[in-house]
Amino acid sequence: MGAGPSTSIFEKEDSITGLNFVAWFFAQTQKDPNFYPLERSTITFFNVMNFKTINQRFSYQGGNEYLCRFRDELQKLFEGEKVLRAGADHLVVISLNLSVEEIALRIKLLNKAMTSYEKGLRNQIKAGIYIADGTPQQPIVMMDRASLACREVHGIFNREYAVFDEELNKKHEQKQYVLEHFDEAFEKGFFKVYYQPIYRTLNKKVCGYEALARWIDPNRGMISPLIFIEVLEKVHLIHKLDAYIIDQVCKNLRDDIDGGYAYQPISVNLSRLDFELSDIKKVVDNAVAKYNVPKEYIVLEVTESAFASDQESLGDIIHCFREDGYQVWIDDFGSGYSSFNNLQTYDFDFLKIDMNFLRNFDKTPKSKVIIASIVDLAKKLGIHTLAEGVETEDQYEYLKSIGCELIQGYYFAKPMPIEDFYNKRAELCSFETNETPAERRYYDD
Ligand code: C2E
Ligand code: CA
Ligand code: CA
């Protein structure tokens, strides 16, 4: 993504911006301990979003000019500190006396100043900050950490910077582990399906389950989907996992039917990428046929953010699923920018209200108003509603009072492995605690 030919990053000076290269600077600090007190400094790593577009639209020369203005603004804002080039569209500031707040303010001012050079393109500049703790360290490790923090805010429009901390480091390390061990985990069967019951608000009976993936690692214990889903999406392997989950869900459903137990529809989560990387309809059809389970008992949850991808076929596939008798639910409703647009464009059976509204339940009275309006709107559109993340009696009572039909959350039950159901089958899979098909038809009408 470079701005045309420039000097090698190991040389002293970059021929485009005239700045010193970071690699050269680091080499000096290693040669001579008095060159710069790196161990007491703060490294801020800058990355221009969409720099490629500048080069494409305005040629390398336009890109180079942009980089020079970027350099000018940094030198102005960080007067007296080291401004360096790291290669490509990455500039770095190494400072000794600025607090995070002072740096954050400068990042804001930088983005403001740079808008006049954007020529109509929206090129936010993102930054990652690493604060050295006084102990000598490999300079490249310090810069990697600043760059890692920077990556944390890529694609997040309302965040300009992140500061490296232990949590971020751990997350990065976990993601690395996922990347390196996915194949092994998959082959050795470390992925398990956990089931979280879904309850009918009016009668408190179980009327469905959501299948949630877990990675039970012999070395690391349970790895959360919040860690591995993102990585698997990035490396385009998510469809492999989702196909496996779908297979397991159909298998477990068949076991319940054969065993004469109460069984309920099961939701599986689909990634936006399942639609791109696989023929997801065929994957589901095949699993359903393999275990001979009724299609009405398979629910496809599609998260709202999937619809932001402008993928034309998504709507068609969803339509096919519903035409064929499957249920399609929209997940995390209200979390994105185009929530209402999606309701207008696509048809869904259920709308799952984003959990974040409930997280603010006690903090602001506004959240109740929003939840009630979503339920009301869905009713008028003929869509059923489910609230997930219900953790308290108060929340349950409120949701019941506004007519939200289904509830899922720790207040009732946490996601559980299949073995828990087998151990407590008499209790969990009886018609005392489960809704009957007749009851479901009654409530659905
Ligand atoms: P999601 O689809 O929104 O799933 C709901 C998440 O909320 C689950 O987290 C669930 O364990 C958690 N949850 C349930 N009740 C409560 C509650 O009362 N309070 C709180 N704070 N949380 C609650 P989990 O299992 O960690 O899954 C996270 C996300 O990972 C899911 O969010 C889903 O987007 C994704 N995911 C999970 N399994 C799969 C899968 O098999 N395939 C794909 N593509 N995505 C999956
Ligand atoms: Ca879900
Ligand atoms: Ca959700």
Pocket perturbation via mutation, ligand 1, pick of 222, 249, 269, 278 by most ligand atoms within 8 A of CB:
269
Distance (angstroms) between ligand 1 centre and the Cα of 326 equals 21
Among the listed residues 330, 324, 335, the one whose alpha carbon sits nearest the alpha carbon of residue 360: 335
Distance (angstroms) between ligand 3 centre and the Cα of 353 equals 7
Q: What is the mean pLDDT of the chain?
A: 92
- Answer positive or negative: Cα dihedral of 272, 277, 282, 287: negative
**Mean pLDDT of the region 134-157:** 91
Atom of ligand 1 nearest to the CA of 212: 38
- The pLDDT assigned to 57 comes to 84
**Mean pLDDT of the region 46-72:** 90
Q: pLDDT-based confidence at 5, cuts 50/70/90?
A: very low
Helix (H, G, I), strand (E, B) or coil at 43: strand
- How far apart CA 208 and CA 200 sit, in angstroms, is 9
Measured by CA distance, the residue closest to atom 6 of ligand 1 is: 389
Length of the chain: 445
- Does 429 score more than 80 pLDDT? no
- The pLDDT assigned to 302 comes to 95
Q: Is the CB of 304 under 6 A from ligand 1?
A: no
- The pLDDT assigned to 443 comes to 87
Range name among 41-50, 58-67, 275-284, 421-430 with the lowest pLDDT average:
421-430
Taking the CA of 389 as reference, the closest ligand is 1
Distance (angstroms) between ligand 2 centre and the Cα of 260 equals 27
Among the listed residues 171, 253, 256, 222, the one whose alpha carbon sits nearest the alpha carbon of residue 431: 256
Q: pLDDT-based confidence at 155, cuts 50/70/90?
A: confident
Range name among 174-188, 197-211, 324-338 with the lowest pLDDT average:
324-338
Q: Is the CB of 225 under 6 A from ligand 1?
A: yes
**Mean pLDDT of the region 343-358:** 92
**Mean pLDDT of the region 174-193:** 95
Is residue 336 a contact partner of residue 302, using CB atoms and an 8 Å limit? no
Residue type, 127: A
Atom of ligand 1 nearest to the CA of 233: 44
**Mean pLDDT of the region 438-445:** 86
**Mean pLDDT of the region 65-94:** 95
Atom of ligand 1 nearest to the CA of 270: 44
- Does 2 score more than 50 pLDDT? no
Strand partners, 430: none
Distance (angstroms) between ligand 3 centre and the Cα of 197 equals 14
Q: Is the CB of 224 under 6 A from ligand 1?
A: yes
Among the listed residues 429, 438, 401, the one whose alpha carbon sits nearest the alpha carbon of residue 201: 401
Q: Is the CB of 42 under 6 A from ligand 1?
A: no
- Does 3 score more than 60 pLDDT? no
Q: Is the CB of 229 under 6 A from ligand 1?
A: yes
Distance (angstroms) between ligand 1 centre and the Cα of 102 equals 37
The two three-digit tokens of residue 185, written as one number: 């985990």
- Does 6 score more than 60 pLDDT? no
- Does 363 score more than 50 pLDDT? yes
- The pLDDT assigned to 7 comes to 66
Q: pLDDT-based confidence at 195, cuts 50/70/90?
A: very high
- Answer positive or negative: Cα dihedral of 7, 13, 19, 21: positive
- The pLDDT assigned to 58 comes to 84
- Does 410 score more than 60 pLDDT? yes
At 75-85, the pLDDT tens digits run: 999 999 999 99
Q: Which residues fall within 8 angstroms of residue 119, CB to CB, at 6 or more apart?
A: 57, 58, 62
- How far apart CA 232 and CA 241 sit, in angstroms, is 8
Atom of ligand 1 nearest to the CA of 388: 15
Q: Write out the DSSP string of 138-207.
A: -HHHHHHHHHHHHHTTTT-TT--EEE--HHHHHHHHHHHHHHHHHHHHHHTT-EEEEEEEEEETTT--EE
- Does 108 score more than 60 pLDDT? yes
Q: What percent of the chain has pLDDT over 70?
A: 98
Atom of ligand 1 nearest to the CA of 332: 3
**Mean pLDDT of the region 308-331:** 90
Q: What is the pTM of this model?
A: 0.83
Is residue 304 a contact partner of residue 333, using CB atoms and an 8 Å limit? yes
